[in-house]
Structure 1
Amino acid sequence: MMLTLRCACVRKPRAFLPPLPIISIYGDTTAAAAFFFYISTTAHSSNRSNIGYNPFYHFQPPSAAAAAIGSELQGGSQEDVVHSFREWFKSGNKPLLDRIFQSLASHNEEFGDHLELSRQAVDAALSQLGLRLTEDLVLEVLNYGKHHVLSCLKFFDWAGRQPVFYHSRSTFNAIFKILYRAKLKPLMLDFLETYMKRRHDHRVRFYNTLVMGYAIAGKPEVALQLFGRMRFQGIDLDGYAYHVLLNAMVEENCFDVVEMLAKQIAVRGLESDITHSILVKSFCKQKQLDKAELFLRELVGSNRVLNQYAVGFLVDGFCKNNQFEKAARLVEEFRELGVVPMERAYSVWITDLVLAGKLDGVLEFVQSMKSLEGYVPDVFRYNTLICKLLRENRLKDVCNLLMEMKEKNIYPDQVTMNAVLCFFCKAGMVEVALQLYNTRAEFSLSPSSMAYNYIINTLSGDGSIDEAYGVLKNSLDQGYFPGKKTFFILADALCREGKLDKMKELILVALERNFMPIDSIYDKFITALCKARKLEDGYLLHGQLNRSGKVSSKGTYFNLISGFNKSNRGDIAARLLIEMQEKGHSPTRKLFRAVICCLCDMENPEKQFLKLLEMQLSCHEPNCQIYNFFIDGAGHAGKPELAREVFETMWRNGILPNLSSEILMLQSYLKNGRVSEALNFFNDLSQGTKLRRKLYNTMIVGLCKANKPDIALGILMKMRENKLKPSLECYEVLIQLLCSYKKYDVVVGLIEEMMEVGRHVSSFIGNVLLVHSLKTNQLYGAWVHSKGSHNGTSFNLLLGELIGTFSHHIRVNQDVEDLEKVIEQCFPLDIYTYNMLLRRLSTNNIDLACELFNRLCQKGYEPNQWTYEILVHGFSKHGMTTEAKRWVEEMFKKGFHPTENTKLFI
């Protein structure tokens, strides 16, 4: 036994659980085994530690596991599990006590700062129960409802006013402890002052009661003053009051007084096992553990009276000072001596091991004591261990203990029932937890805040938002309000599912209770309102937050502005744009652009635009970036004249336009087809200074997009004359546009010129050349007649050969792999290149097309929608409808949807 206790503390704990008892909580071993297996499988999964894992969300078992459980349990459904636990919960019911507290709770009234007793209502309610008041009954009622302080006070007051009953020291001590544990010291002191004024109403020793009350209330100086007054008047405390006072002095660390009182108790012949246990407690509180141990052994050696609390205090003292080995030896030694019952020491040992996190040691100890002595922990120890195991997600062990409690006929209390609700939530059986919760009135269950949080979190996590909100409303009726994390989870789920009316109610309830949700909750709500096109509601909430000093996030501003832009309310969007900058958020160019475009779609666009510019310049220090945002926005809104006005305003305000300003101004002209103005602006910029390369590139690309290839080509030549190297994009867009006009001789010359400046043929240019080679022989003819074909490099010859091959439409029997290698030497292949090859091959030889598809995948290219479309068309043209449908299914798997044209083929 000594070895077992040491192992529980010193070596690494090992999981030790004996086989489950034959009698289970279901009364059927097959059902119990099925349930145990189910929890075993889910418990392992619930211990996962993913990045960002939220402990409030539970593990949801796979549907197959849930189906297996349903078939294994009695009746093939979860109703049997619910029924079994409901009956167990009912077994702990005490109908008479429940009726007493129901009557008391129904008449709670609150007046000012004090809780007053509605005496007439209480008298009427309790008199109907026909109670036979005794000290034992009153103590039982007070112990049963010790967490319902107001109801206990009302019952205590009512009992004291009945002609057949007088309060005893024990009942006074009980109510004092209830008030003390509830940390209601002011109420307790009021109670004692009232008691002092009504001395004539009490049959109990007056001073005894006052001394006990003030001692328990944490007022040792008052208690001692009253004790001194008693002694001056020639009266003394009785043994019970002496020990209450002695214990209170220990609790208040008045150890000099403890020594004096202990001597007084001994002199008066009142010394008992209670005295000894309090003294051991005193030594332990002073961390004089050796002295406490010596005192305890002297008591045993002299055959003096000893009780189990003394051993428990010393065990607790060792554990609190991290001396678990000494505690283990002490428990073992006194167990073997047999001089005192060990239940208290065992209970303390279990509690301290749990608090220290030595859960495997606790489980091993309990099982060994059960087999050696038949020891069964009380419901409090079971609850302590179960709650700790729940926090560690050790659901299998929790299941084991619940079955054990049922087998040993240990009646569950409120803590047990709440732990069971949390257990089912964590085990992925929220439906069982919800059914037990819905039938809580049958067994007088008062869910704790933790149970409410678990149920709400779990229901929110698996999408049962309406049920979660219903539980929340019930919890509010019971006086509970969810914690911050639960509030966040539920609010997030309501916003995500678009339950905006419920979300609004939740926010209002929170504000009524002076609970301020975190900013991200408001941001999510406003975002959800914007998505639901309830912009006015979102804007009003945003305004309320501003007035309360809260700052909406950057994302919230973006969502509001975007929503008002889509609703053509540019004026509000512009106001929000300025406001977000005042709040410290920086808008992007894209956001500015969207707001300006919206303003330019309204009436008097110039006025709206200039008003926003004026507001911006008045609120913030002018800089190039802000002006550039407005130039860009005006250009995208189709208002280049407004862009030019901003550009001129920069000069007038002493802000020198930078390169970005000039580029944006050029783009605003070109993208709106104002080519002549763009050329004029470009020429103006070139006066007296050498233009930078980016301006040339912008001009060339913009002219190509404006469908002006000749002007673009002229500027490119001018750029080359100025010894500037055009960007690859310039060559790409210009070659593409020239090919569309079939000016292939110019294209060939441009390619030669491009390679001369060190630019390589890109995939884009190569694909354009191949496409036009497939359409016509003219490109190849232009290539043949160019001087580069006669005096060019090997690359030119290779590229000309490739164009020639495609101009003759690629023979199907040609080696496709060799063709790929030739293309790779000319330019990098991309998926567009492969799609061209596939289209050509699929028309005549679908097998070669499939080989090419497999090869491109092996090389790491990602097929796009057109890749699949080409193969579907190819299979259909060859009459292979089944294969075509299979490729359509593959398209869907990849997230692509066939076009209407493709659907005609299948």
Structure 2
Amino acid sequence: MRLPRRRPLRVLHRRGSWRRPLPCLCFSSSTSMKGGGAPNGSDLAREISNLLRVGTNWKLLMVTSDLPRRLNPNAISAVIESQNQVLDPKLLLDFFYWSASQIGAPPNIDSFSSLAILLCNSGLFPLANGLLERMIKTHPSHSSVLDSINHSFKQCEKSNPAVFDVLIDTYKKMGLLENAAEVVLLMKGGAFKPGLRCCNALLKDLLKANQMDLFWKIHQFMIEKRIARDVYTFTILIGAYFKGGDAGSAKKVFREMESMGCVPNAVTFNTLIDGLCRSGAIEDAFKLKSEMVQKGLAADVFTYGALINGLCKDRRSKEAKLLLNEMFGLRLNPGVIAYSTLIDGFMREGNVDEAFKIRDEMVASGIRPNISIYNNLVHGVCKMCKMDKALELLKEMVRVGWKPDTMTYNLVIEAHFREQDVKGAFHMLDEMRNQNVSPNLYTYSVIINGLCRCGKTRQATEFLEEMIVKGLEPNAVIYTTLISGNCREGRLEEACGILDKMKELKVVPDVFCYNSLITGLCKSGKMDEARNYLAQMQEIGLLPNSFTYGAIIHGHSKGGDMDKADMYFREMLSHGLMPNDVIYTALIDGHCKADDVAEAFSTFNSMLERGVLPDVQTYSILIHSLSKRGKMQEALKIFSELEEKGLSPDSYTYTSIISGFSKTGDSEKALHFHDEMCEKGIEPTIFTYNALIDGFCKSGDMESSRRLFSSILEKGLVPNGVTYTIMIDGHCKSGNITEAFKLFEEMLSNGIHADNFVYNALLGGCCRVGDLNRALDLLNEMVPGGFATVLSFNTLIDGFCKLGKLQEANQLLQVMMDKQINPNNVTYTTLIDGHSKAGNMEEACRFFTEMQEKNLSPNTVTYTSLIDGHSKKGYLVEAFALFEEMLAKGIVPDEIAYQVMIHAHCKEENLVKAFQLRDEMTGKGMQMSGVTYLTMIDGLCRKGDVSKAVKLLDDMEQQGIRPNDAQYRMLIDGLQRSGFIEEACQILEITMKNGWVAGDTSSSSLLDGCQKLVVQEAIACPND
């Protein structure tokens, strides 16, 4: 049943419940029904206004009427715009919210604006706040909201502009700080502007949120809109400059505000002091504190706190403690923060005792240390590896009422892992769980990292699974740790699998993740896979950095693929990445190992041109490479440059120099550098002594080698396998097999396993002294142990061949093939040489054919042995044919080959060809031996060309070749026996006259013999 429309008004009139009139809002008639309202909108507004005058019963009256059905946004707007008929703005607000719920649609945006202005005019700012929040939620566009408020504000004079401040404040309270700033900036071209307090508050909030771009825009807006800045504005501005790291501008603002008549207050001074302390300008901060006091402002707890913090960060905690005493003198009570800062400062400086004294002073002054202070103390003692003290602190925390939190346990667990104490870490984890403290992401990260570093990557993976089950999501850092751990332990397949798992779980791998995997693959020489992952990371938009390229370059350099190493180095440079000394050193080392010293030095010079300073390792690699090649002058030059740069050579540097001189046979200089390094306090290593001993052994000075070997133990060093091998080889080469085997037994008794090098040295020694039975025993020992190599068999075959035991040598060839050890061209060449020397040319030729059937190429030595064998047997045609075949195959003759051919042509009495080969040989810088010279001289004498023979004798003398008496005797005897008595006498007379042969009894008897033969020949043939 509908109530009569006029009745509510009568009831209201009788009760006399009229309210005070509202402040006027003057809306024009044109706006009262905008939006196309109902024809009777004004009447509906009047009806509603009349019902609202009833007071508390208006809702009941409206609900029981048809008004709710007739309500619409325009009607609501009309009621608000005709507010002069309603007495209470709170009542109007109540109606606004109720009507919005009745019509099921948001009111017009201008309704919100008009009512918000009305509320602000009445000083009801909190209610305006709430209304504007609903307005913003209903109409998200901040520009539309501002336009509507601007429009409504202009409709009435004398409205309170505080509505704009309330709007900005509402945006901030809703967490829409950027929108708040943008609303202010939208006012730039308008007639309205927020108040100073509003702007200051906004600046403060933007500074706190680190929204510095908007901060400076708002500050510029204030200047352009001529909003006068006050002490609070300048204080906030000083803080902003410090946040941007611009201490100079902060100080400038401080001085400018004074010149503008704006007096800094304590907060301004404190802000500046705090900023100066944080930026490290502590002395300036102290000067400012003095200025503050001079201006009648008392330094407070914040002032001292800032100074204490600055000093502690500058590792001047003792000075900071004096400020604490100063505070007590001023009756200022240091708070928890000041004490906490001091404790942290002393802990950072490693002064644990002083940190605990501050804690005790704090407790004595009645201030209870909080959980943060205890965690600081725990962190400090854990860093100092004082685990017992850390556990005491945990107990103390519980005793004084603090429960150790996740951070506390994380610190102690991490410290246990740092000490490689896995058991202690797990004990603490169990205690953590028993105390119902849940491990967090960092806890698992610490455990996984600790286990990986302890070589327990499989167990770390179990913790990864556990954290996933518990709903914790591992991040890229944890996965990277696991990848690195697996790579370190050689489980590259598992490492690659972890990366795949990351992708499945939608965890995006970062550059560090890929770098860990690529580095692991490169260290294991899996360069194809490493390059694939490099391409993969680029495909997903990750840019390789210096570490990525460094790993790839190092891997290729280590593997000897310098073309690819150089290619990735150029690619790195093209991406604007700067190589460091480690990358350059890897490249230099790679080129040196590839025997490209020129390119190594080119890279070294490039390094210097780019301003990258080489370290000792870089110089040492170059020194080692040059020394290895016997280029000792160049090595010494680099050594001097190293010292000129202020770098100190290490044991590797000195060992390289010592090894170089030892290899070139200059043991004196090697010892000089050994003594020099000892004088500088650089301890020689076993490698240093190995180099020295090797030098003496190579020069045949076994006494010095033995002396050095004996001194190794005195130096606290232990001989290794290489040391023993060098000594054993040295004794074998000097023919002292007994001492060699004695050292061999000593080596085995010291637990050093023999390898093929030492066995081959002993084998060679036995063969050298002709003890082939012992050599065979050694070989029989070597074969089952897998130590026998081609070299082993070749050494023994050579030994048998030299003793003429060719059948045994042939049998050894069969044995090595039965043992699946393939003979090489040295094997066959040795057999061919042995049979050729024995005149077994048929067998030699059989081996020559067999080696070629096995695709083994004969070399100069092979051909020379065959040619010499054929020549000595008188098979000159075959010898000459072999020489032509050798040349046709592109095999270059050496000195021996040429001389064998010269002998063959002399035997054929083809001296023209012999001299042609002599000229060809000497033209290539080769030198004939004395025997070859005498062979040619013999040939010339037999031809009767003594003058040419004498010229050859002169040539011998000029070349520094002086055949001994025995060789001359052989030449002269040969001439005598062949009937060339006169020529023999002439040669002997000339050599004695020139002093080429000593005038001893044997030479004189030779000459007498020649003369007697001439006389006898004359008597026998008188007619001649």
Same fold? TM cut 0.5 = no
Return the TM-score normalized by structure 1.
Answer: 0.39
Return the TM-score normalized by structure 2.
Answer: 0.35
Computing the radius of gyration from Cα coordinates, the structure with the larger value is: 2
